[in-house]
Amino acid sequence: MDNSTETLKNLIPQQDDPIAIRRRAWRMLKDSVARYGIAVGGISVIISIVLIFFYLAYEVIPLFKPAHVETLTEYSLQTDRGSPTVYLGTEEHAEVGIQVQQNGLISYFDMVGGDIRDSFQLDLDGAEITSYAFGRVDSDVIALGTSDGRVHLVKQRYKLSFPDDKRYVTPSIIFPLGEAPIVLDEAGRAIRKLALANDEEGSFLITGITEDNKVVFNQISLEESLFGEGEMVSSLGTLPVMESTPEFVAVAGNLRWLFVTSTHGDISLYNVSNASDPRLIDSRHAVIDDQKITQAQMLMGGISLLVGYSDGELEQWFPAKDEEGNTYIANVRSFEAGDAAIRQIIPERQRKGFVTLDDNGNLGVHYSTSHRTLLNKDVESTSLQRVAISPRSNRIMLLDDQGKLRLWILDNEHPEVSLSALWGEVWYESWNEPDYVWQSSAANQDFEPKLSLAPLAFGTFKAAFYAMMVAVPLAIMGAIYTAYFMAPLMRQYVKPTIEIMEALPTVILGFLAGLWLAPFLEAHLPGVAIMLFMLPMGVLFFAYAWHKMPKHVRLLVPEGWDAALLIPVVAILAWLSFAISAPVEQAFFGGNMRGFISNDLGITYDQRNSIVIGFAMGFAVIPTIFSITEDAIFGVPKHLTMGSLALGATSWQTLVRVIMPSASPGIFSAIMIGLGRGVGETMIVLMATGNTPIMEMNIFEGMRTLAANIAVEMPEAEVASSHFRLLFLSGLVLLIFTFVLNTLAELIRQRLRKKYAQL
């Protein structure tokens, strides 16, 4: 014993042995490096996520800031003080302003200093300007009505030059239909209200209310002769006598519709496409009690009519169609501008916003689509003669009776965004009812941005839902069989094979789904339906038949290798399903099942639809759910299984009552991680869904997800624009959703773990 003890002492290093000391030091160093490395890595991940969150928030917060103004300069205009200002405006860059006075004097002045750059005197032939109107934003045409029933059409022209590398704007005017005024009222009565609409082809619709309350209009078009020369064609018309006195008139951008408001508070819509026979389309009584209409103006785009009332309320009206297809005037939304009567409504020239001024000197900035009042400011003056806003909506001009002009800088970058516009139903122009729509751009300059995130969020959940419908049953059932019933040797091949599927790039899956799977499923719709029924039934029938086989036959297959027998069964059933697809389609659907779905059932069918997404994205999610679930089930302590079986429980009872509860935290985590993968998936839904942002649960319809929308539109988005920041908001929504989802999943997992920890 003494020799053995001595030998052991020689083999085991002593505490003070140099080798032991070096080993302990090296081990402690590795432990410290690992401990601090893991800590630094974990903290770095947390810091990175927090920084991503704050960066997204930094890009998103400006969307919801209110409008802001600050004074740039004040000065007195050096123009004819004895003649009131009829029209006030500016060119696109807000460097040169324009003032039109009642005596026909058109003055161009420097916006910063007020110096006169140029002036033009219209030949009014003894008359004076009594009203004005402006046309399309891209035409810069102003209509000036006079006291003798005529209209002067003036087009503003601005030439840019760069002397000494500085931009200089040179103003001038031209006459698009010639210098001769256009007759609007043949009786020569003064035009007290005027409206103008024009199109790209050079056609005009000029409408006015005369001093004796007649509504007259003139349709002007340019027609080419056989020799290519343009000839102006003019058609005068008069509306039928109205029951109440017309007060305001406005013309729609289609040059066919004419709005008239009356002193009794009626809003009437006329079709004047036939000048000799104008027709009343609809009339609505808009006022309540002693309320009166005090102002009316068309919104940019020429579809919506903005109506101001004596109590400070504002409303937006536009034509829509009812269920029978009849056109009516719809009251879409209202704004509260103040308590005093609306004196002026000035629409923005490039957006769906507008500025208002009431009798108390309160100036409001509003936006129609988002239903926002962005600014209410007291201008400290009730003697304002004119208020104007620049074409880019970044300058506001206020001119009082004394000729003093105040120039404000307007900071209002993202008025089209609001919570109601992002997540609620919005009634868009030319739509017959409110809806959820995403359409961020269009070729039309009068386009109304439709920025609802609701269809994108819906599409995200729809894609994830159908993917999980396919992935969860297959992955979990496969993991249960692999971990609990399958032979260990077979498991060594099956588990790595399924896990290696996760390394397949999703762009490849999306490519195959979009270009091969989608048209294949469309061509074999009956086969898909048959396979979804035949496959589970066939597998169950084969399992039952195998169970009834003689024992010596079943023993030919080693225990745990039974699943290999299903490979040819599944292959044969899938082949058979698609082999009988064409005869079934011919017999029951006239050879066209897609046509039957669309025409007979009235269900829209898109080639790239939710079925394709279910198969493709489900295939991508299966490895994640399978791997985590299989590890959770396989990791259940063996003594629990052996104890259950020893107490007389069957394998199935042991699985359901012991294994599954113990593995439930891991299974739940697998499902949540798979759901997160489905929500954040980009390339598959980008290539296989058709990218249609609609809110439709129809399995034959496509969708657009938040992630796919970011991938599609971010390269085309203008930096710092509303569109650009909304894409960042989409990313922030995804980040918050996944954070909340993972947090809830962890809380539930901990409760499950605590509940079944006693097993």
Integer CA distances (angstroms), 77 to 122, 407, 537, 592, in order? 19, 12, 88, 75
Question: Per the domain annotation, does 554 fall within a domain?
Answer: yes
Instruction: For residues 545 and 685, state if they share a domain.
Output: yes
Compute the average pLDDT of residues 467-483.
93
Residue 8 clears pLDDT 80, i.e. is over it: no
Lowest mean pLDDT among 59-73, 228-242, 640-654, 738-752: 228-242
pLDDT value at position 443?
Answer: 65
Question: Per the domain annotation, does 345 fall within a domain?
Answer: no
pLDDT value at position 759?
Answer: 57
H-helix or E-strand spanning residue 620: helix 610-634
Question: Per the domain annotation, does 596 fall within a domain?
Answer: yes
**Beta partners for residue 248, in sequence order:** 261
Instruction: For residues 512 and 609, state if they share a domain.
Output: yes
DSSP-derived secondary structure letter, 585: H
pLDDT value at position 691?
Answer: 86
Residue 294 main-chain phi, psi, to 5 deg: -110, -10
Question: Per the domain annotation, does 316 fall within a domain?
Answer: no
pLDDT value at position 409?
Answer: 94
Reduced DSSP (H G I as helix, E B as strand, rest coil) percent helix, strand, coil of the chain, to 5: 40, 25, 30
Residue 1 clears pLDDT 60, i.e. is over it: no
Residue 24 clears pLDDT 90, i.e. is over it: no
- pLDDT > 90: percent of the chain: 53
Instruction: For residues 510 and 620, state if they share a domain.
Output: yes
Question: Per the domain annotation, does 458 fall within a domain?
Answer: yes
Instruction: For residues 136 and 50, state if they share a domain.
Output: no
Neighbours of 612 (CB within 10 A): 27
Instruction: For residues 59 and 137, state if they share a domain.
Output: no
pLDDT value at position 261?
Answer: 94
pLDDT value at position 99?
Answer: 92
pLDDT value at position 230?
Answer: 62
pLDDT value at position 289?
Answer: 83
Compute the average pLDDT of residues 18-26.
82
Instruction: For residues 618 and 749, state if they share a domain.
Output: yes
Compute the average pLDDT of residues 284-312.
91
Domain span holding position 516: 454-755
Instruction: For residues 465 and 540, state if they share a domain.
Output: yes
pLDDT value at position 79?
Answer: 74
The Cα 436–Cα 458 span in angstroms is 10
Instruction: For residues 56 and 183, state if they share a domain.
Output: no
Cβ contact 414:113 at 8 Å? no
The Cα 649–Cα 662 span in angstroms is 16
pLDDT value at position 640?
Answer: 86
The Cα 715–Cα 712 span in angstroms is 7
Mark which of 42, 63, 84 sits at the end of a domain.
63
Confidence band (pLDDT; 50, 70, 90) for 11? Answer: low
Q: Kindly report the average pLDDT of the chain as a whole number.
A: 89
Lowest mean pLDDT among 97-106, 255-264, 664-673, 740-749: 740-749
- Among 228, 222, 114, 131, residue whose Cα is nearest residue 176: 222
Question: Per the domain annotation, does 249 fall within a domain?
Answer: yes
Q: What is the pLDDT of residues 154-197, one digit of tens each?
A: 999 999 999 888 888 999 999 988 888 999 999 999 999 999 99
Instruction: For residues 31 and 164, state if they share a domain.
Output: no
Instruction: For residues 522 and 662, state if they share a domain.
Output: yes
Mark which of 266, 285, 304 sits at the end of a domain.
285
Residue 522 clears pLDDT 80, i.e. is over it: yes
Here the CATH number for the domain that contains residue 747 is 1.10.3720.10
pLDDT value at position 4?
Answer: 61
pLDDT value at position 239?
Answer: 92
Q: What is the pLDDT of residues 72-113, one digit of tens each?
A: 999 988 777 778 889 999 998 899 999 999 999 999 999 988
Question: Per the domain annotation, does 731 fall within a domain?
Answer: yes
Residue 263 clears pLDDT 80, i.e. is over it: yes
Using DSSP's 3-state secondary structure scheme, residue 357 falls into strand
Question: Per the domain annotation, does 350 fall within a domain?
Answer: no
Q: What is the pLDDT of residues 653-682, one digit of tens each?
A: 999 888 998 898 889 989 998 998 889 888
Confidence band (pLDDT; 50, 70, 90) for 445? Answer: low
Confidence band (pLDDT; 50, 70, 90) for 547? Answer: confident
- pLDDT > 70: percent of the chain: 95
pLDDT value at position 2?
Answer: 58
Mark which of 11, 45, 63 sits at the end of a domain.
63
Using DSSP's 3-state secondary structure scheme, residue 616 falls into helix
Instruction: For residues 22 and 138, state if they share a domain.
Output: no
**654 Cβ neighbours under 8 A, 6+ residues apart:** 641, 644, 645
Instruction: For residues 195 and 273, state if they share a domain.
Output: yes
Total number of domains in the chain: 3
DSSP class per residue in 4-41: HHHHHHHHSPPTT-HHHHHHHHHHHHHHHHHHHHHHHH
Residue 381 clears pLDDT 70, i.e. is over it: no
The Cα 505–Cα 687 span in angstroms is 13
Q: What is the pLDDT of residues 476-489, one digit of tens each?
A: 999 999 998 888 88
Angle between helices 581-588 and 525-547 (to 10 degrees): 120
pLDDT value at position 140?
Answer: 86
